[in-house]
Amino acid sequence: MKTTETHCPYCALQCGMTLTPGLPRVRLEPRDFPVNRGGLCAKGYTAADLLDHPDRLLTPLVRKEPGDRRSPLREAGWDEALSLTTKAIQAAQQSYGPDSVGAFGGGGLTNEKAYALGKFVRVALRSSSIDYNGRFCMSAAATAANRSLGVDRGLPFPLEDVARARSVLIVGANPADAMPPSMQYLDAGRAAGARHIVVDPRRTATAAGAHLHLQPLPGTDLALANGLLHIAIREGYVDEVYVAERTTGFGAVRAATNAYWPERVERITGVPEAQMRETVRLLATERPAMILTARGAEQHSNGTDTAQAYLNLALALGLVGRPFSGYGTITGQGNGQGGREHGQKADQLPGYRRIDDPAARAHVAAVWGIDPDELPGPGRSAYEMLDRLGTPDGVRVLLVLASNIAVSAPHSNRVADRLGDLDFLVVSDIFRSETAELADVVLPTAQWAEEEGTMTNLEGRVLRRKRALPPPPDVRTDLEVLAELAARLGRGEFFSSDPRAVFDELRRASAGGIADYAGITWQRIEAENGVFWPCPSEDHPGTPRLFADGFPTPSGKARFVRVEHRDPAELPDRQFPYVLTTGRNMQHYQSGTQTRRVKALTVALPEPRAEIHPDLARRHGIADGDLVELRSRRGAAVMRARLSDGIRPDTVFAPFHWPGANALTNPALDPHSRMPAFKVCAVAITRHEKGTD
Ligand SMILES: Nc1nc2c(c(=O)[nH]1)N[C@H]1C(S)=C(S)[C@@H](COP(=O)(O)OP(=O)(O)OC[C@H]3O[C@@H](n4cnc5c(=O)[nH]c(N)nc54)[C@H](O)[C@@H]3O)O[C@H]1N2
Ligand SMILES: Nc1nc2c(c(=O)[nH]1)N[C@H]1C(S)=C(S)[C@@H](COP(=O)(O)OP(=O)(O)OC[C@H]3O[C@@H](n4cnc5c(=O)[nH]c(N)nc54)[C@H](O)[C@@H]3O)O[C@H]1N2
Ligand code: SF4
Ligand SMILES: [Mo]
């Protein structure tokens, strides 16, 4: 059988792998590709288990009693499922206008599908109502990078550069669990004597191997960054020449950091002054130096300003744009980077263009063959859209592609209620996810190994996802479904279901934009191990490293932005005395729709565990393995306790790969990016009396 070279379906590292269809099963093997160099994590190794999984959706599903979501889902043909969908769309739009039909997309979609979804909503539905799960993932760091550097490419350098840095500050990231093969670059740096400083309320596997571990109270990273900059200024570590030549706005930032003297920052964060001084000394003297952030720093109601505070520090030290140096945010989802470039964001058009920019509208409308005035304006951000589902001015018919919002959105009980108030819910998925279980129509979609497309990894490297085998007979790709629905809505001439044709159109739509793919071809991707955007023409080499010569801002300089510490939206009190933070376990992926169905992974980690410190456990009579109930102002969740002296005694950590954690989380939104506060809310904990087996 033919062997196909492709990439892992899960995270943004996009490890290389090969697939060889055979009887009875597809053989999956690691492949030497620049990011993974032959490594894979347990999720990658077992990804092919889902191709022929017995739970797989093989036909569309509709309700036995149409309109009654309490009646069971039954199998149906495509024509029936799409007719019901089209009728629901038309009925809502006639009664409530175009914006009453919306879509929720995902950062796991290929570039082609993300692009087609954005276009489908604007051109076929003529609606402004679209956003996606990247709002819950990358939006804070993306907003800060756009504001400060003029462009948001998660890592503005190849991953291999991390191995060459002599000091790395890693804030709220746990790549040892989230991207295990990427640790080879950190390990190589450490073996060569590099100093790594990890900032995390838990002693993670990433922190355990670092030179220094700073353990702040969740939600205080901004104060910490300003405190580090305060020390850098006092100790004369600011690169004054770089600041003068390559940046603007340092004066205001310098003045603001006066108030972040070490004793005050120690009081806010709990990080000892000596550790802060050592961190600054290492970043200033062990060069090249890097600062990396991920969701621990970013998923806060001040996430944009927090990412900015670390950008300010990187700029003041003169790191950004120098070899093997700089600031980067570690993108999460398989196509988390491409997914935020091609127009599935409420405020965006392809090429990372803004939908409120007349020149951008004119360019994209010309590629799409429509009048720019036909294009809707910006829509509501993810949570704001979900929060209004089924209300008079909200979305009444929702299409969900590649997200399991019933589990992964904050304040999930409210989101489930809102989904229940919709006139009609359509979910495209591989399995009956918790969100699919709430739908009127469920559409079975092809899996990664069954379709062609491109993905853009955490480095901004555009890759090819290749088809190794056909989808099951009655399963369609998302591109086919969108093109068919558009045809039923009378807009079929604008849509293609051929991924190559869609990619070529995407290249033209992105041309001249910030994320310019114009020069990237399928052939080049293969010949060059991926191509880094921007790549404006076929004779352009692509851009592995940004900012060597300047910044894509109007002045060509990077902007400092003054940012101030604010308390998290919810603080512990007598009723809810602890801070809950949430995140990832190595064995499971996101809402768990996929990995909870992989036997090897559920054997390794069958259920969620709330991590708590032994001191906290003792106070509440909790032993390791006991069931505990966590309660917040919004809901409750029961899970087993895992005692660990690596976590702060005032903090509880819970994974969100199962329903539960998001019943607790606070949907307080960051004013700049609309990122919810997944990483801080106030909770109470009790031993769960029923069944402490
Ligand atoms: N195994 C696995 N890997 C994944 C994923 C997955 O679901 N499972 N998802 C992928 C995706 S989409 C993403 S976005 C990435 C995310 O990758 P990461 O951001 O590395 O993962 P998280 O576990 O969300 O958060 C990282 C760390 O932040 C810490 N943290 C919590 N609160 C705070 C805080 O206030 N400040 C600081 N400094 N740290 C804090 C947590 O203890 C945690 O160890 O992972 C990707 N890789
Ligand atoms: N409490 C808490 N909540 C969080 C986070 C956190 O740290 N804490 N992290 C947030 C982050 S960073 C993220 S990225 C989100 C992720 O959360 P979700 O958006 O829920 O992510 P997934 O579980 O990957 O959902 C993808 C769904 O689409 C299906 N799918 C996969 N590929 C395709 C495809 O090509 N087409 C279609 N139609 N379906 C497909 C999968 O089976 C799965 O059901 O969760 C966020 N929620
Ligand atoms: S690290 Fe990410 S891309 Fe690599 S095998 Fe694991 S899940 Fe897949
Ligand atoms: Mo994410």
Predicted confidence at residue 24, as pLDDT, reads 80
Atom 18 of ligand 1, nearest CA residue? 173
Residue 463 burial (CB count, 10 A): 27
| Dihedral sign from CA coordinates of 29, 33, 35, 37 | positive
Same domain, 200 and 158: yes
**129 and 269 share one domain:** no
Q: How far is CA 688 from the centre of its chain?
A: 33
Cα 675 to averaged position of ligand 1 atoms, centre (Å): 15
In-domain check, residue 180? yes
Look up residue 503 and give its DSSP letter.
Answer: H
Q: Are residues 132 and 161 in the same domain?
A: no
Could you tell me if the CB of 137 is within 6 A of ligand 1? yes
Report the residue among 139, 174, 565, 566 best suited for mutation to probe ligand 1: largest number of ligand atoms under 8 A from its CB.
174
164 with 295, same domain: the answer is yes
Residue nearest (by alpha carbon) to ligand 2 atom 30:
402
Nearest ligand (C-alpha, residue 648):
1
CB of 439 closer than 8 Å to CB of 466? no
Is 200 strand, coil or helix? coil
**What pLDDT is recorded for position 23?**
79
Split into its structural domains, the chain has a count of 4
Burial of residue 640 (CB within 10 Å: 0-12, 13-18, 19+) is middle
Give the number of the atom of ligand 3 that is nearest the alpha carbon of residue 179.
1
Same domain, 116 and 149: no
**Pocket lining: 189 vs ligand 2, CB cutoff 6 Å:** no
Q: Using a 6 Å cutoff on CB, does residue 332 contact ligand 1?
A: yes
- Coil vs helix vs strand at 359: helix
* Residue 693 pLDDT: 47
- With a 6 Å cutoff on the Cβ, whether 667 touches ligand 1 is no
Looking at residue 216, what DSSP letter applies?
P
Query: Is residue 384 included in any domain, yes or no?
Result: yes
Centre of ligand 1 from the C-alpha of residue 209, in Å: 17
Q: Are residues 317 and 421 in the same domain?
A: no
- Atom index in ligand 3 nearest the CA of residue 334 equals 3
Q: Is residue 280 part of a domain?
A: yes
Ligand 1 proximity of 11 Cβ (cutoff 6 Å): yes
CA dihedral sign, ordered 353, 357, 362, 365: positive
Minimum CA distance residue for ligand 1 atom 4: 178
The verdict on whether omega for the bond into residue 24 sits within 30 degrees of 0, i.e. cis, is: yes
Q: How far, in Å, CA of 552 to CA of 537, rounded?
A: 18
For 270-283, give one letter per residue: b (16+ CB within 10 A) or e: bbeeebbebbbbbb
Q: How far apart are CA 532 and CA 537, in angstroms?
A: 12
Cα 567 to the chain's mean position, in Å?
A: 24
CB of 628 closer than 8 Å to CB of 50 = no
The tokens for 69 are: 């979501």
Beta partners for residue 582, in sequence order: 654
Atom of ligand 1 nearest to the CA of 653: 42
Query: Helix, strand, or coil here: 319?
Result: coil
* Nearest in space to 688 (alpha carbons), one of 634, 620, 607, 619: 620
**For 101-131, b where at least 16 C-beta lie within 10 A, e where not — what string?**
bbbbbbbbbbbbbbbbbbbbbbbbbbbbbbb
Q: Is residue 523 part of a domain?
A: no
Q: Which residues of the chain have pLDDT under 50?
A: 692-693
The rounded radius of gyration (Å) of the Cα atoms in the chain is 24
pLDDT at 690: 62
Residues 297 and 438 in one domain: no
Contacts of 168 (CB under 8 A, 6+ apart): 162, 186, 189, 194, 195, 196, 197, 289, 290, 291, 292
Residue 598 structural domain: 578-687
Is 285 found in the same domain as 192? yes
The answer to whether 282 touches 248, Cβ cutoff 8 Å, is no
Q: In what order do the strands lie in the sheet with 289-293?
A: 212-214, 195-199, 167-171, 289-293, 326-329
Number of the ligand 2 atom closest to the C-alpha atom of 107: 14
Full-model pTM = 0.98
Rounded to whole angstroms, the Cα distance separating 336 from 154 reads: 9
Q: Are 127 and 344 in contact (CB under 8 A)?
A: no
The residue contributing the CA closest to ligand 3 atom 8 is: 44
CATH number for 16: 2.20.25.90
Report the distance separating Cα 396 and Cα 85, nearest Å: 12
Is the distance from the beta carbon of residue 475 to the nearest atom of ligand 2 less than 6 Å?
Answer: no
Bridge partners of 636, per DSSP, are 631
CATH number at residue 658: 2.40.40.20
Mutate to test the pocket of ligand 1, among 183, 199, 200 (most ligand atoms within 8 A of CB): 200
Write the residue with the smallest CA distance to atom 19 of ligand 1: 295
The residue among 489, 510, 538 that closes a domain is 489
45 CA closest ligand 3 atom index:
5
Q: Whole-angstrom Cα distance, residue 228 to residue 140?
A: 21
Q: pLDDT tens digits, residue range 286-300?
A: 999 999 999 999 999
- Phi, psi (degrees; rounded to nearest 5) at 501: -65, -40
The reported pLDDT for the residue numbered 689 is: 79
Residues 319, 172, single domain; the answer is: yes
Distance of CA 624 from the midpoint of ligand 3 (Å): 30
- State how far Cα 588 lies from the chain centre: 15
Q: Are residues 484 and 341 in the same domain?
A: yes
User: Which atom of ligand 1 approaches the CA of 333 most closely?
Assistant: 12
Q: What is the domain-level CATH number for residue 91?
A: 3.40.50.740
**158 in any annotated domain:** yes
Structure token pair of residue 542: 């692509």
Atom of ligand 3 nearest to the CA of 181: 1
- Asked whether residue 564 is domain-assigned, the answer is no
- Of all ligands present, the nearest one to the C-alpha of 589 is 1
DSSP readout, 78-125? Answer: HHHHHHHHHHHHHHHHHHH-GGGEEEEE-TTS-HHHHHHHHHIIIIIS
111 lines ligand 2 (CB under 6 A): no
Residue 8 lies in a domain: yes
Helix (H, G, I), strand (E, B) or coil at 70: coil
Atom of ligand 1 nearest to the CA of 219: 35
Asked if 244 and 99 sit in the same domain, the reply is: no
Q: Which residues pair with 247 in a beta bridge?
A: 558
Instruction: State residue 692's pLDDT score.
Output: 46
Residues at CB less than 6 angstroms from ligand 3: 8, 10-11, 13-15, 36, 40-41, 43-44, 179-181
Looking at 288, 312, 329, the residue that finishes a domain is: 329
- Residues 557-597 pLDDT 10s: 999 999 999 999 999 999 999 999 999 999 999 999 999 99
Q: How far is the CA of 136 from the centre of ligand 2 (A)?
A: 10
- Indicate which residue's Cα is closest to atom 22 of ligand 1: 583
71: which residues sit within 8 A by CB, 6+ positions away?
A: 63, 64, 65
Residue after which a domain boundary falls, among 278, 309, 329: 329
Is the CB of residue 367 less than 8 Å from the CB of residue 508? yes
Q: Compute the distance between CA of residue 219 and CA of residue 565 in angstroms, rounded to an integer.
A: 9
Q: Which of 252, 199, 187, 255 is nearest to 225 (CA)?
A: 199
Write the DSSP assignment of 177-198 as a string of letters: HHSGGGHHHHHHHHHTT-EEEE
**Of 440, 435, 419, which is closest to residue 81 (Cα–Cα)?**
440
The CATH number of residue 161's host domain is 3.40.228.10
Residues 306 and 387 occupy one common structural domain: no
**Distance from CA of residue 569 to its chain's centroid?**
22
DSSP state, 647? B
Residue 473 burial class via C-beta count within 10 angstroms: exposed 0-12, middle 13-18, buried 19 and up: exposed
Is residue 595 included in any domain, yes or no? yes
